[in-house]
Structure 1
């Protein structure tokens, strides 16, 4: 994925095992309902910008999860092929999720 930091599957497994990754599935609700990575939060890319601009209480009420902090490390966006994950990463970085440089796209599933 040119233009975005990526994380490989082995890196992701290590981050998840140590509780250091925050996964956001940016596929549609229908796609995510068919199966996703356990523990991932589904926020379709079409609503990600408004979600990341919400007040924390409103975010929690809508998504039943804490809103990611601007400085949060290992914030990882993923989709099926990588295009929406890249779009989500770039959008988040544009909203200020860049101070730590860890917003990433999941690089592959093999």
Structure 2
């Protein structure tokens, strides 16, 4: 059972996206999944690469992803996958690296695409 401090709901995520304030949204699906549709503003880091990519130095991260590397105290670092399991794994990896506020969007892309009609 996921504890609530590690999970974010669709409505909370939608509000963060609309606000655009300090959200780093990481899609941990593989590229072929992402090519079929993605949550706007997300960056794609496959789950197996999360630890190595979040360990990059800030300049290398920005060059690779086009966004600043989230600081360890990033208030809104959210991971998601297709159904929720890989997002949870990525959240746990980020927390082990010191990203204390990392959360999983448990509804994942499946819920997002249903609610957004994509």
TM-score, L = length of structure 2: 0.83
Match of 1:49 in 2: 51
Match of 2:15 in 1: 14
Residues 1:32 and 2:34 are matched in the alignment: yes
Match of 2:2 in 1: 2
Match of 1:95 in 2: 97
- Structure with the higher helix share, 1 or 2: 2
| Counterparts of 1:8 and 1:14, CA distance in 2 | 10
TM-score, L = length of structure 1: 0.89
| Counterparts of 1:60 and 1:26, CA distance in 2 | 17
Please provide the CA RMSD for this pair: 1.4
1:71-110 equivalent positions in 2, closer than 5 A: 71-98=73-100, 102-108=101-107, 109=111, 110=115
Higher RCO, 1 vs 2 (CA within 8 Å, ≥6 residues apart): 1
**Which consecutive residues of structure 2, in runs of 5 or more, have no partner in the other structure?**
none
Which aligned runs of 4 or more in structure 1 are off by greater than 3 angstroms?
Answer: none
